[in-house]
Amino acid sequence: MSIDFAHFTPGAALVGGLIIGLAAAVLVLGAGRIAGISGIVGGLLLRPRGDMDWRIAFLVGLMGAPVIAALLGHPVVPEIVAGWGEVLAAGFLVGIGTRYAGGCTSGHGVCGLSRGSVRSLVATLTFMTAGIATVYVVRHVVGG
């Protein structure tokens, strides 16, 4: 195993993690809401009365961050090495997984673990194990 030091950015990762943790803490302490993306988007689809504004603001902030980064001279240009079929299938599978797990990686991994939730611990371990297994299979079984 080798580390790609050209793309190894522990400082930026630390700052990003602190910002995510701060945002999750502000949302739970200020509004009593969990910063889980699947729950936020799912709530938008259900259109609950009086519960739309904070969800829309959260998503606008989430999607606006790359725009602000680009305006500051740090454009975010993701490289996706998959076709549309693969991307759609992956998104569909992630959607199914979040329904079965009762939340997504941000809800369980950031918010649930910080609250000491055993259910979130099991869900996060499952997410991580599935991700590690998928990368191994794709890199060493299918691709290699």
The pLDDT tens digits for 50-70 are 788 888 988 998 899 889 989
Q: What share of the chain is helix, strand, coil (3-state, %, to 5)?
A: 75, 0, 25
pTM metric for this prediction: 0.72
Could you read off the pLDDT of 84-139 as tens digits, one per residue? 999 999 889 888 888 888 888 888 988 899 889 999 999 999 989 988 998 899 88
C-alpha distances (whole Å) from 131 to each of 45, 105, 134, 142 are 27, 11, 5, 15
What is the structure's pLDDT at 120?
92
Mean model confidence pLDDT for the chain:
87
In the predicted model, is pLDDT for residue 78 greater than 90? no
Q: Provide the residue ranges of all domains of the chain, joining segments of one domain with +.
A: 5-142
Take residue 99 and report the two structure tokens written for it: 């329904």
